[in-house]
A and B are shown apart, each in its own frame.
Chain A
Amino acid sequence: MDDSTSIMLDAIRLLLSGDAELWAIIAVSFQVSSAAILISIPPALAIAFILAYADFPGRRLLISIFNTLLAVPAVVIGLTFYLLLSHQGPFGDWKLLFTQSAMVLGQAALSFPILVAMGHAAFQAIDKRAWETARTLGASPTLALYTVMREARFGLLAALFAAYGRIIAEVGASMMLGGNILHYTRNIPTAIALETSKGEFSQGIALGLVLITLAFTLNTSLQYFQGKGHITN
């Protein structure tokens, strides 16, 4: 077996050489995870907002449920959707199993509780008077919501990046729902799992480097957009 330095060098060479297969895998990852997060953001943040600002019976229970869902393993989500989407399952007619759409569904479901739980925490940290003030000053509900979201942007962006980080690095659900089909549903994590099982460590490391680079970029931009990252008045 090669020593780790040469595996690392091979990996970097692969990335820089623009290996078409490698970049196709990277593209699948981003397409699927981005679609998933875009689908879950609006309903998740709406629920987060309602949980933080409205008072209704069962609110605390709902919060507990979403917090519990944070702990559900990706493979369980994967298996659940597998059974739903399988030809034998209730939604078999949609023929979605082993497609990118199935992966998007699974990943959206995975990101949803993170967005709700962390979004709720972010909204809750904002003084309720921000909403009331905006409304009294004549802001429409949309504008008032925008104001509150601006106030809560630090926490909301953290929720967004946490959710994106989870689904783009997730292997269990993608493997089950996508089937790891080359050029179609093979994304970075399932490719790493496959390459490792084949003993092709360089390819695995190269893909791992992409994920780490992504995480770093996300975190850097998070800091930039969140502002200075310390308490101000």
Chain B
Amino acid sequence: MNLPLSIFLMLVSLLYLRPGFSDTNIVDNPDRIIRLATTTSTDNSGLLSYLLPAFEKKTGYRVHVIAVGTGKALRMGRDGDADVLLVHAPAAEIEFIKTGYGDERYPVMYNDFILVGPASNPANIKAGPVISDALQQIADNNSTFISRGDNSGTHKKELSLWQAKKIQPAGKWYREVGQGMGKVLQMAAELNAYTLTDRGTWLAYQEKSPLKILNEGDPQLYNPYHIIALNPQRFPDINYRGASTLISWITSTAGQSLIAEFRLNNTLLFKPSANVRQLAKQTSEH
């Protein structure tokens, strides 16, 4: 027992002594850590790993990104398990602030949702800019449609679109899978199914996917992202100062121009949307 155990202990201590370890693992000072709960679309597309190092370098904060669906992110916010949220579900965000969990929301960027499906297009969807017609055709045709089913921003948007057309999405053709966007795109490809996706994730997957964009451009498909700090009155021990610093930075010219320059496969992913009025407001606050 002794010999293997001591070898084991030695290996473990070696791991801790590994050069650079302390560098990747700043846990000592929680004031320097910002917990950002966000959607899979901002993380999977690579935006955050492109954006945040610049912020960390400038301010000395460290951002811990927890990428979940918008529903889960808001839930973490209600439980006080994050400091700041970057999400895309306007109705739920307003509710979140109105019920006293969130501080204030600031627009950060936007892109849009698109309907993708198999190239064979079994429901014969027209490329026109009316999303509700396309969904009606899918339902009428009983063509397989994959729903996120995870309460994410995309899922909420999809549900509101069915509702607007008074379609009850149910039946064998409608499959709720409860997975992230990337996984859903993969499943849709495997099952020759339609799905609604944000453009950011689609651009990241496009190359590997046999699916095609079948409907885009409807104003209903506008997809804005907001950043919200938790309400410091309700959650006094969150890192509100860090959250505010991140918000100021991401809505500042520096943050916004980085977002505007972010490309994936040579395509712009997000358009910055923090407008001048909000900028002025924030500078006066801090």
- Decide: A88 and B80 in contact? CB cutoff 8 A: yes
Q: Which of A52-60, A109-117, A149-157 contacts B (4 or more CB under 8 A)?
A: A149-157
B191-205 interface with A by 8 A CB criterion: 204-205
- Decide: B80 and A181 in contact? CB cutoff 8 A: no
- Decide: B182 and A199 in contact? CB cutoff 8 A: yes
Task: Return the contact of A34 from the options B1, B4, B12, B205 (Cβ within 8 A).
Answer: B12
Which A residues are in CB contact (< 8 Å) with B65?
181-182
CB distance from A216 to the nearest CB of B (A): 16
- Chain A binding surface, main DSSP class: helix
CB distance from B70 to the nearest CB of A (A): 16
A165 at interface by CB-CB < 8 Å: no
Which A residues are in CB contact (< 8 Å) with B80?
86-88, 92
CB distance from B146 to the nearest CB of A (A): 14
B3 at interface by CB-CB < 8 Å: yes
Which B residues are in CB contact (< 8 Å) with A97?
81
Task: Return the contact of B18 from the options A27, A98, A149, A196 (Cβ within 8 A).
Answer: A27
CB distance from B87 to the nearest CB of A (A): 16
B186 at interface by CB-CB < 8 Å: yes
- How many A-B pairs have beta carbons closer than 8 Å: the answer is 80
A136 at interface by CB-CB < 8 Å: no
Which A residues are in CB contact (< 8 Å) with B81?
86-88, 97-98
Chain B: residues with Cβ within 8 Å of the partner, total of 36
- The answer to whether A99 and B179 touch (CB under 8 A), given A31-B16, A34-B15, is no
- Decide: A198 and B44 in contact? CB cutoff 8 A: yes
Task: Return the contact of A225 from the options B4, B12, B67, B186 (Cβ within 8 A).
Answer: B4
User: B185 — nearest CB in chain A belongs to which residue?
Assistant: A199
B49 at interface by CB-CB < 8 Å: yes
B1-27 interface with A by 8 A CB criterion: 1, 3-4, 8-9, 11-12, 15-16, 18, 21, 24-25, 27
- The answer to whether A184 and B79 touch (CB under 8 A), given A1-B208, A31-B15, A199-B182, is no
B35 at interface by CB-CB < 8 Å: yes
Cα separation A102 to B165 with both chains bound (whole Å): 45
- The answer to whether A184 and B25 touch (CB under 8 A), given A34-B15, A98-B64, is yes
A80 at interface by CB-CB < 8 Å: no
Task: Return the contact of A197 from the options B11, B24, B183 (Cβ within 8 A).
Answer: B183
Cα separation A127 to B49 with both chains bound (whole Å): 58
Cα separation A102 to B18 with both chains bound (whole Å): 22
Which B residues are in CB contact (< 8 Å) with A31?
12, 15-16
B180 at interface by CB-CB < 8 Å: yes
B235 at interface by CB-CB < 8 Å: yes
Which B residues are in CB contact (< 8 Å) with A24?
24
Which A residues are in CB contact (< 8 Å) with B49?
182
- The answer to whether A87 and B27 touch (CB under 8 A), given A197-B183, A199-B186, is no
Which B residues are in CB contact (< 8 Å) with A107?
none
User: A31 — nearest CB in chain B belongs to which residue?
Assistant: B15
Q: Please name 12 pairs of A and B residues whose Cβ atoms are closer than 8 Å in the assembled complex, sorted by A.
A: A27-B24, A30-B15, A31-B16, A86-B81, A87-B80, A95-B30, A95-B237, A98-B66, A149-B1, A197-B40, A197-B183, A198-B182
